[in-house]
Amino acid sequence: MTTDRFSWFQQARFGMFIHWGVYAVPARCEWAMLLERTSPAEYARYAEEFRAECYDPAAWVALARMAGMRYMVLTTRHHDGFSLFDSRVSDFTAPKTAAGRDLVAEFVQACRAANMPVGLYYSLGDWRYPAQFAGPEQDPKGWRALVDYAHAQVRELMSNYGQIDLLWYDGAFTPGATATADAWRAVELNAMVRTLQPHILLNDRSGTPEDFSTPEQHIKPAAPGRAWETCMTLNRHWGYTADSPVYKMTKELLVYLTACASGDGNYLLNVGPKPDGTIPEESALRLRQMGEWLRQYGESVYATGRCPLSPGSFGVITQHGEDIYLHVHWWPGTELCLPSIRNRVLDAVILATGQHAEIEYRTGDRVILKGLPATAPDPYVTVIRLHLDGVPEPGPDPNEGWG
């Protein structure tokens, strides 16, 4: 991950995922077609109500910037088969239905105008194809047609919109087959993508490892040296759902963001726009609040990475050179313990107030920060920056000798 190809991704830490398509019209989640056993012909009627009349991708980009997000990933086609882009191999597309235009082209243009890295999501699977459910062994001819169609659409996405920074595969459902990569001819597919877009980053969902891992709805850091990105919803669904009252609180979202950064990973947070292209206010409010926090504490997240020190019981730690950042998820009161640190701590500053904490060394490698406020200075996540006498060295395992 030291190459220029990875540098922007490694420093970004926070991105916007956008699930948008005709499933926003029934507004009963992005899997409604499958879960409700809707036929392709019946489902296609929703495309005539998907007009995107208020679609303004520049406003999406502005919201992402306000939130402190450093890249964006749009679903160009989800598992329902509806493409937001113009395609020679499909008529079930935005330009050929009510929307009447290439929505991906507008998105790419808006990102590029704001110098925002462009990510495109593409589902290899398509529920409109019977072979998608039969699998390659039961319907080899139908499966070949499905795979050829997916390859052709990926080629279009990689050829028609200028430089694309990231390709986010999904939906490589392979009934009855044990080798996903073979079933989708992933090696051939990704070789084609890299020929057309030499600097692109690919995720791991085509059946081959490629550039980065994608845990979903949970945080699971990859091994050191492997890029990764947790994708997560703001509520219970990816696509717009009219009745979706269970939203994560801003503090919870910032806990997840800082936890990803502490594991040298990114946080890809999803919004589900309405059929007209507007982002629900419940989502926008949380993103604006996250942006306010990042404007004050962004140095503790962007371009930081793993710290070898144990955080003890308060939260997580990120590192940048000789500075480490304590992200205090659970405020401990007037004293905070670092259980194992071999370096000398030269300074400890609460970023919210500028207050310098007292530094006390205890038995072994324990450091106690004293004189802290009784309650957390920040309502979400308080950050304490420690400047060390060198790059932090791993301390002993605080669990050693126990149980």
Q: How far is CA 258 from CA 293, 294, 383, 391, in A?
A: 11, 11, 10, 20
Question: What fold is seen in the domain 4-300?
Answer: TIM Barrel (3.20.20)
Quickly count: other Cβ atoms within 10 Å of residue 198's Cβ. Answer: 9
Sheet with 305-306, edge to edge strand ranges: 305-306, 315-320, 323-328, 382-388, 345-350
State the amino acid at position 363 in one-letter form.
Answer: T
Per-residue 3-state assignment (H helix, E strand, C coil) for the chain: CCCHHHHHHHHHCEEEEECCCHHHCCCECCCHHHHCCCCHHHHHHHHHCCCCCCCCHHHHHHHHHHCCCCCEEEEEECCCCCECCCCCCCCCECCCCCCCCCHHHHHHHHHHHCCCCEEEEEECCCCCCCHHHHCCCCCHHHHHHHHHHHHHHHHHHHHCCCCCCEEEEECCCCCCCCCHHHHCCHHHHHHHHHHHCCCCEEECCCCCCCCEECCECCCCCCCCCCEEEEEEECCCCCCCECCCCCCCCHHHHHHHHHHHHHCCCEEEEEECCCCCCCCCHHHHHHHHHHHHHHHHHHHHCCCCEECCCCCCCCEEEEEECCEEEEEECCCCCCCEEECCCCCCEEEEEECCCCCECEEEECCCCCEEEECCCCCCCCCCCEEEEEEECCCCCCCCCCCCCCC
Task: Give me 85's structure tokens.
Answer: 């882009």
Stated pTM of the model: 0.96
| Contact of 127 with 158, CB cutoff 8 Å | no
Tell me what pLDDT residue 3 has: 60
Sheet with 336-338, edge to edge strand ranges: 336-338, 367-370, 358-361
Q: How far is CA 356 from CA 167, 336, 350, in A?
A: 44, 13, 6
Mean of the per-residue pLDDT values for the chain?
Answer: 95
Main-chain phi, psi angles of 111, to 5 degrees: -65, -45
The residue among 123, 36, 33, 24 whose CA lies nearest residue 78 is 123
* 102-106-112-115 Cα dihedral, nearest 10 degrees: -140
Ranges in the chain, pLDDT < 50: 1-2, 398-399, 401-403
Tell me what pLDDT residue 2 has: 45
- Give pLDDT tens digits for 197-254: 999 999 999 999 999 999 999 999 999 999 999 999 999 999 999 998 899 999 999 9
**21 contacts: CB under 8 Å, gap ≥ 6:** 30, 50, 75, 77, 78, 80, 82, 84, 239
Tell me what pLDDT residue 397 has: 57
Instruction: Give the CATH number of domain 307-388.
Output: 2.60.40.1180
Domains 4-300 and 307-388 share a fold: no
Cα angle at 293 between 290 and 299, to 5 degrees?
115
Tell me what pLDDT residue 396 has: 61
What ranges do the domains of the chain cover? 4-300, 307-388
Alpha-carbon distance of 110 to 366, in angstroms, equals 50
Alpha-carbon distance of 306 to 358, in angstroms, equals 25
The residue among 263, 280, 262, 259 whose CA lies nearest residue 271 is 280
